[in-house]
Amino acid sequence: MAPILLNCMGNEHNEYIKQQVQVKNPYLGTMEEDILYHFSLSTRTHNLPEMFGDIKFVCVGGSANRMKAFAQFIHHELKLPGNPEEIKDICDGTDRYCMYKVGPVLSISHGMGVPSISIMLHELIKLLHHAQCRDVILFRLGTSGGVGLAPGTVVITEKAVDYSFRPQFEQVVLGKVITRSTELDKGVSSELLQCSTELENLPTVIGNTLCTHDFYEGQGRLDGALCSFSHEEKLEYLRKAFEAGVRNIEMESTVFAAMCRVCGVKAAVVCVALLNRFDGDQITSSHDVLVEYQQRPQILVSHFIKKRLGILA
Ligand SMILES: O=P(O)(O)O[C@H]1O[C@H](CO)[C@@H](O)[C@H]1O
Ligand SMILES: O=c1cc[nH]c(=O)[nH]1
């Protein structure tokens, strides 16, 4: 009996550990205090388990205003008490990122590009770890350029891929390149796709997302301050991307996917396409149209959250 019992406890323990947000740094446990500098939070000055221990969903996106609007929207959708207009930025001690807590949902901005989001993710993952959060799902709610898609289409990322369409993220550490997988959670992606079929006016596809380090040359645009290639060369690269399953292009998905995966956090990337890159480079839609497009990933993820919380049938 004893070995069976031990084995059983071992599995339960492993399950418990798996559901926790894991940091992969042996030094962290030896530190007396951990200062999350860009959040203006610290383990000594803030009771992180009390402040954040109930977080189950974290939604991140580039713009501070968009993530505030999302926090107000999800407050309304979850029918929480209080005035959403009075929602407070937890990171108001810094203007690097903004952060809003709405019941079990955390809404955070990450700025543009891999370096900006990766700094935010280091501190977010440590925050969730220090707060002893369990069963957390992270979503990136963003905008992107569509590849062969009508503007307004929402793309749920199957694989986040690099400039050669490989599902990997390369990080330089001490002068050496470390390569990490960018696979995302298949279960969450297909649940999101199912959610999209339950909503009106939300054209949605699953496809690969190309992550670049630049908006202009890096995404094959002909309208930057620099351009060293022809229109035909641009179209050839986009065609190759399309053949590799790429349906949209943005600037954070690979590091987002890689860091979440290493730390045992389920993650999904949901970005709306603002234009079809086969048709041009400039974003010509009106402000109102763009605002409506940006709400689409929010509506989809809010539906997912409400279903998970049992607020919807
Ligand atoms: O809509 P967000 O989240 O800002 O992301 C996309 O928009 C920015 C470029 O305009 C890049 O950061 C890209 O990834
Ligand atoms: O074309 C686009 C649009 C939004 N964000 C990007 O990174 N690219």
Q: What is the per-residue pLDDT across 263-304, written as a single tens digit (0 to 9) for each?
A: 999 999 999 999 999 999 999 999 999 999 999 999 999 999
Q: Which residues contact 44 (CB under 8 A, 6 or more apart)?
A: 32, 33
Domain-ending residue, one of 80, 113, 135: 135
**What CATH number has the domain bearing residue 46?**
3.40.50.1580
Is residue 39 located within the same domain as residue 87?
yes
**8 A C-beta contact, residue 167 and residue 199:** no
pLDDT in tens, 139-198: 999 999 999 999 999 999 999 999 999 999 999 999 999 999 999 999 999 999 999 999
Is residue 153 located within the same domain as residue 289?
yes
Is residue 295 located within the same domain as residue 208?
yes
Instruction: Please say whether the dihedral angle defined by the alpha carbons of residues 195, 120, 244 and 173, taken in this order, is positive or negative.
Output: negative
Is residue 43 located within the same domain as residue 66?
yes
Nearest atom (ligand 1) to Cα of 294: 1
Is residue 122 located within the same domain as residue 164?
no
Rounded to the nearest whole angstrom, what is the distance from the C-alpha of residue 18 to the centroid of ligand 1?
31
Mean pLDDT for the chain? 94
Rounded to the nearest whole angstrom, what is the distance from the C-alpha of residue 205 to the centroid of ligand 2?
17
Strands 154-161, 57-61: pairing is unpaired
Is residue 224 located within the same domain as residue 91?
no
Strands 154-161, 266-276: pairing is antiparallel
Is residue 170 located within the same domain as residue 270?
yes
Which tokens go with 267?
Answer: 């993650």
The terminus-to-terminus CA distance of the chain in angstroms comes to 43
Is residue 1 located within the same domain as residue 20?
yes
Q: Is 96 annotated as a binding residue?
A: yes
4 pLDDT above the threshold of 50: no
CA distance 253 to 268: 9
pLDDT at 6: 33
Strands of 183-254 (E only): list them.
Answer: 204-211, 246-250
Q: Is 275 annotated as a binding residue?
A: no
Is residue 291 located within the same domain as residue 257?
yes
CA distance 252 to 84: 28
Is residue 127 located within the same domain as residue 160?
no
What is the DSSP code (8-state) at residue 222? S
Q: Is 175 annotated as a binding residue?
A: no
Rounded to the nearest whole angstrom, what is the distance from the C-alpha of residue 93 to the centroid of ligand 2?
30
pLDDT in tens, 45-68: 999 999 999 999 999 999 999 999
Rounded to the nearest whole angstrom, what is the distance from the C-alpha of residue 190 to the centroid of ligand 1?
23
CA distance 207 to 296: 17
pLDDT in tens, 75-95: 999 999 999 999 999 999 999
Q: Which residues contact 173 (CB under 8 A, 6 or more apart)?
A: none
pLDDT level of residue 1 (50, 70, 90 thresholds): very low
CA proximity to 46, closest of 55, 35, 38: 35
64-77 and 287-308 are packed helices; what angle lies between their axes, rounded to 10 degrees?
Answer: 50
Q: Which residues line ligand 2 (CB under 6 A)?
A: 143-145, 215, 219, 249-251, 274
Domain hosting 15: range is 1-135
Instruction: Indicate whether this model's pTM tops 0.90.
Output: yes
Q: Which residues contact 85 (CB under 8 A, 6 or more apart)?
A: 72
13 pLDDT above the threshold of 70: no
Q: Is 105 helix (H, G, I), strand (E, B) or coil?
A: strand
CA 233 to chain centre: 31
pLDDT at 12: 54
Rounded to the nearest whole angstrom, what is the distance from the C-alpha of residue 290 to the centroid of ligand 2?
12
Residue whose CA lies nearest to ligand 2 atom number 5: 144
Is residue 72 located within the same domain as residue 11?
yes
CA distance 43 to 35: 7
Residue whose CA lies nearest to ligand 2 atom number 1: 145
250 pLDDT above the threshold of 50: yes
Q: Is 143 annotated as a binding residue?
A: yes
Tell the residue number behind the tokens 């749920």, with chain if given: 156
Rounded to the nearest whole angstrom, what is the distance from the C-alpha of residue 146 to the centroid of ligand 2?
8
CA distance 120 to 137: 16
CB of 290 within 6 A of ligand 1: the answer is no
Is residue 112 located within the same domain as residue 204?
no
Which tokens go with 100?
Answer: 């809003």
CA proximity to 171, closest of 163, 162, 160, 179: 179
**8 A C-beta contact, residue 186 and residue 173:** no
CB of 252 within 6 A of ligand 1: the answer is yes
Q: Is 142 annotated as a binding residue?
A: yes
Domain-ending residue, one of 104, 135, 166: 135
pLDDT at 88: 96
Mutate to test the pocket of ligand 1, among 66, 112, 219 (most ligand atoms within 8 A of CB): 112
Beta-bridge mates of residue 209:
160, 248
CA proximity to 252, closest of 55, 91, 69, 109: 109
Number of domains in the chain: 2
Domain-ending residue, one of 135, 164, 180: 135
